[in-house]
Amino acid sequence: MISRSKTRTRRSPALSAKYLDRVEIRLLVQSKEQSDFDKAFREWSYAGNAFDLKESIAECELCGHSGLRFQYEIANSHTSSRLLVGSRCINRFRGIRVQDADGADLDEERATKRLASDRRRLIENHRHRRVISSLVQLASNEDEFDIDSFIKWLLAHQAFTPKQMTTLIWRFEKHGVAFDSADFKVTIRRNKHKQQLFDLPDWQLQKLWPCLSPSQQESYQRRRREVF
Ligand SMILES: [Zn+2]
């Protein structure tokens, strides 16, 4: 008899029986514990190995859900089996232990935070790679483009100044380099950079606008209202 009595989840207590059946079969096959669902889950832990496949192509090895872009590796402490599972499973089954960088088990609140921050890191890395790829493409189209200084700045600040970004957009468009405004971040922390943004003519501001975060857009509009 398989015990499910204590099976709890982080977010949604009401899971479909079909979903649980699928998870149960795949979990017990790979675990030392062969009947108690909860006990079997405790054999598994997530230590921070997460992967971004960039496209929604994978299948969760626990529930079989397809169309996954992010995978989290869970390992069994008794059988040395490993499973690549999706966001839904790793977040729902609190029985899976989530560990910190030193291998210590995290409490539920910290576990939820770690999972969210690992996901943010994957998205951020992907965004960063796309920015670099646009810069490299631009450099291959334009000899005068000083890619090293742009990359050096980007690594140090994680964002471009309004002036740099305006230049980049102009160059991308001139050379037909594909780029996604949402991948780029603009820094206006310093007054000098706030002023750069404020001094842009409307047509340049319009192009730069999608690179600004909602709070930067709001702060720009607030300042504009104050001045006029
Ligand atoms: Zn799953």
Q: Provide the pLDDT confidence category of residue 5 given band limits of 50, 70 and 90.
A: very low
Q: Ligand 1 centroid vs 31 CA: distance in angstroms?
A: 16
pLDDT for res 8: 53
Report the relative pairing of strands 44-52 and 97-98 from DSSP bridges: parallel
pLDDT tier at 113, thresholds 50, 70, 90: very high
Residue 94 Cα to ligand 1 midpoint, Å, equals 13
Question: CA–CA distance from 156 to each of 151, 153, 160 (Å)?
Answer: 9, 5, 10
At residue 24's C-alpha, the angle toward residues 21 and 27, to 5°, is: 150
Q: pLDDT for 178-212, tens place per residue?
A: 999 999 999 999 999 999 999 999 999 999 999 99
| Euclidean distance between CA atoms 84 and 57, whole angstroms | 13
In the prediction, which pLDDT does 85 show? Answer: 97
Of 66 and 10, the structure prediction assigns the larger pLDDT to 66
> Residues 113-126: what's their mean pLDDT?
94
Instruction: Tell me, in angstroms, the distance from the centre of ligand 1 to residue 224's CA.
Output: 48
The letter for the amino acid at 17 is A
Distance CA 144, CA 164 (A): 15
State in Å: Cα 28 to ligand 1 middle: 14
In this structure, the strands spanning 82-85 and 70-76 are antiparallel
Distance set, CA 170 to CA 133, 163, 165, 201, 228 (Å)? 17, 11, 9, 14, 28
Q: End-to-end CA distance of the chain, in Å?
A: 74
What is the whole-number distance in angstroms between the Cα of residue 104 and the centre of ligand 1? Answer: 24
Ligand 1 center from residue 117 Cα (angstroms): 19
- The token duo for 30 is 């790979």
Q: How far is the CA of 98 from the centre of ligand 1 (A)?
A: 16
| Per-residue pLDDT tens digits for 9-56 | 554 556 788 888 899 999 999 999 999 988 999 999 999 999 999 899
pLDDT at 216 over 80: yes
Taking the centre of ligand 1 as the mean of its atom positions, its distance from the CA of residue 87, in whole angstroms, is 7
Report pLDDT for 11: 46
How is residue 112 written in tokens? 């939820």
